[in-house]
Amino acid sequence: MSTNEPNRAGSGMDRKIEKQSRRPLYIGAAIGGVVLLAALVLLTDRTSTSFTLDGQRIRTGEVFVGMYEDFIPLRAAVEPERTVYLDAIEGGRVERILVEEGAFVEEGQPLVDLSNTSLQLDVIAREAEVSEQLNNLRNTQLAIEQNRLSLKSDLIEIDYQIVRLQRLVNRYEELEGNQFISKTEYEDARDELEYWTNKRGVTRESQAQDERIRLAQIEQLNSSVDQLEKNLTLARANLDNLLIRAPRSGQLTSLNAEIGESKSRGERLGQIDDIDRFKAVALVNEFYLNRVRLGQQAQLEFNGRNYRLEISKVYPEVQASQFEIDLRFLGEPPADIRRGQTLQLRLVLGDTEEQATLLPNGPFFNDTGGAWVFVLDAEGAVATRRDVQLGRRNPSTIEVLAGLIPGDEVIISSYSNFIDVDRLLIDR
């Protein structure tokens, strides 16, 4: 009994020590397994670079050497080079519409007739003012003439008296010297002569003063008449403006007027387009704002013929990430283009006589930013990822700076479904 008890006790202690020593090992092994599994998962995820792809769903392009063309495509709208707008100079009611929208009109041709009672009454009132002032002017001129005649008659009478008295004084002077008449008679005659002589001077001075006053009155009346006539002319012009005429020859492409409709002063009634000259108006991405300038040329292929245009105006204001440019035709434009028609242009941004290694452009660029591409092997069965350096690009080609050589076959379609893999297996 005594020998067995120590053995049981020892065995129990051995089992306890064994359990305590293995538990950390189990835990460590479990943790290590988890870490290893995670590493394997990560490694598997990074190194699982193969992806089978249907060859019918990809598009490829071959690297080649050619002339690089630095251009951007533009979608332009045809507009007349000159457009004249029709605005109501004076407001009024539409009485007559004399032409139809779309008609070709000549300069000065009546288009729309308006009526305005206030303007008509204003003309009548100003005509009455002018008439009244003209009557005042004529009456003043008549009064001046009558006064001139009266003063002339007075001067005749005064001159007669002076002549008569001068003879009398001369005679009395001789008689008084011979004592045939008294000294008083002689002095009376001489005083009377002096009176009439002085009266003549005063009369002439009064006549001159009156003449100056009358002339000032006439000048004032003439000035008033001139101003009233100018006002009348302006009022008549305002009345004439109720008849809307074509300011130039062209096509009436817009007419906004209905009989009986009231139009306010300055309201837009329509427009006339000069159909002899057209321009192209296009919107350009703001990315090219610093590269687009006056004089740059654009190319147009229309109905089998080539045409050239140049930028005539750049509008610097940017709206919705775009700015506007005007392009004029160099030479005659296509004969059958019309306002609002859409043209596809190629705007040349740089030198087109430049040889370079080129890659056809494609959607892949949006996925990689031009940093790498998938290159097919000689059999076209496998495509591997390759880092590249790309340069300038236009809608059709991209300049290759490094990583590709002429003859390389590159997948140029979208990479969005396999952007994280390194190798593609092409199922033909």
List the CATH number of the domain containing 322.
2.40.30.170
User: Nearest to residue 394, comparing CAs of 282, 315, 291?
Assistant: 291
Contacts of 284 (CB under 8 A, 6+ apart): 72, 74, 292, 322, 323, 324, 325, 347
Residues 64 and 124 reside in one and the same domain: no
Residues 133 and 232 reside in one and the same domain: yes
Contacts of 257 (CB under 8 A, 6+ apart): 94, 97, 112, 263, 269, 270
HSE on the CB side for 200, CA within 13 Å?
15
Residues 254 and 332 reside in one and the same domain: no
Residues 105 and 124 reside in one and the same domain: no
pTM of the prediction? 0.51
Structurally, the chain folds into a number of domains equal to: 4
Residues 185 and 299 reside in one and the same domain: no
Residues 329 and 381 reside in one and the same domain: no
Helix axes 117-177, 183-240, angle to 10 degrees: 170
Kindly give the parts of the chain with pLDDT less than 50. Answer: 1-48
How far apart, in whole angstroms, are the C-alpha atoms of residue 48 and residue 119? 89
Q: What is the pLDDT of residue 353?
A: 62
Q: What is the pLDDT of residue 322?
A: 94
In a domain, 305, yes or no: yes
Instruction: Quote the domain boundaries for residue 76.
Output: 72-81+277-348
In a domain, 5, yes or no: no
Residues 143 and 214 reside in one and the same domain: yes
Kindly give the pairing relationship between strand 397-402 and strand 354-360. Answer: antiparallel
In a domain, 39, yes or no: no
Residues 375 and 338 reside in one and the same domain: no
Q: What is the pLDDT of residue 178?
A: 64
Residues 292 and 381 reside in one and the same domain: no
Residues 236 and 290 reside in one and the same domain: no
In a domain, 25, yes or no: no
Residues 151 and 233 reside in one and the same domain: yes
In a domain, 209, yes or no: yes
Q: What is the pLDDT of residue 342?
A: 93
In a domain, 148, yes or no: yes
In a domain, 339, yes or no: yes
Among the candidates 313, 348, 383, a domain finishes at 348
Instruction: Count how many residues are written for the chain.
Output: 428
Residues 232 and 145 reside in one and the same domain: yes
In a domain, 32, yes or no: no
